[in-house]
Amino acid sequence: MATINNNGVVIYYEVLGEGEPVVLLHGFTASSAQWQYTGIAGELAKDYQVILVDLRGHGKSDKPHGSEAYSLEHRLSDINAVLDDLHLDRAHLLGYSMGGWLAFGMAAQYPERVSSLIAGGAHPFDESAEPFRHVSGGDPQAFIEALEAFIGETIVDAAKPVVLQNDLVALVAAAVDRHDQSAALDGMTIPMFLFIGEHDQRLVAATRAAEHLGAELLVLPRVGHAMTLFGGPELIGAIQRFLGKVT
């Protein structure tokens, strides 16, 4: 367990295992614990140095309340700062949802630091955060409704307390529009693997991304955005096989 201070924002991270480094970037409203309870971190740590990062606004990292703190540039700076703190020139990136968007950002802007890219429930194209435009963070029900509109599916009752334990004001500030990065990825030689749930509203965009980037795409059956990371052996095995090929 460690922290770094990146221009006044404290970022928390953990390191598990040994081997080639793999940085795990979680989704919006989650934390690095997401990779633990889905079993992914533990399995990868058997063969790799797994770096779990709490992204700004989440988990044990600082949670600024101003949207200017959540620009793509600031967020990528956090990832680079963690790599620098560990004296790593480059690493494999595995990101889900928001973390996948950040992984695409790293590949687009800092390709020299990316050994390979795995992105789930994400794509490099434009995406609006419009559902959060008129949410303040002071109304938990309004936040849940905005999140449901953003991901296109209902949050089950059992998951709502987990979402609502976050600093909602910080999360609303973090819900910024995501701009198209696909042009910067044209011609990339970085190996890429994408995965997504069959019922995820981003399926069409992820399929388009895989075709655009020449990446392998795994579609996990019968699941939407919220449950894709619980793909179990099928998902974990696919990630391990990809990493085995590129390492």
Question: How many residues does the structure list for the chain?
Answer: 247
Sign of CA pseudo-dihedral 119, 171, 166, 73 = positive
Is the pLDDT confidence value at 203 over 90? yes
Task: Summarize pLDDT for 45-75 with one digit per residue, the tens.
Answer: 999 999 999 999 999 999 999 999 999 999 9
Q: Which two tokens stand for residue 221?
A: 């059956």
Closest among 223, 229, 19 to 118, alpha carbons compared: 229
Give the predicted TM-score (pTM) of the model.
0.97
* Position 1 pLDDT exceeds 90: no
What single-letter amino acid sits at 197? G
Percent of the chain residues past pLDDT 70, beyond the cut: 100
Tell me what the mean pLDDT of segment 171-175 comes to. Answer: 98
- Distance, in Å, from the CA atom of 82 to the CA atom of 77, rounded to the nearest integer, reads 9
Across the chain, what does the average pLDDT equal? 97
b/e code 165-187 from CB counts within 10 Å (16+ = b): ebbbbbbbbbbbebeebbeebee
Span 24-32, average pLDDT: 98
Q: Is 53 helix (H, G, I), strand (E, B) or coil?
A: strand
The H-or-E segment that residue 200 falls in is none
**pLDDT confidence band for 36 (50 / 70 / 90):** very high
Query: CA 81 → CA 74, 86, 97, 150, 185, distances in Å?
Result: 10, 9, 21, 29, 22
| Whole-number Å distance between alpha carbons of 71 and 73 | 5
- Looking up tokens 């009752």 gives 157
pLDDT digits (tens, 9 = 90+) for 104-133: 999 999 999 999 999 999 999 999 999 999
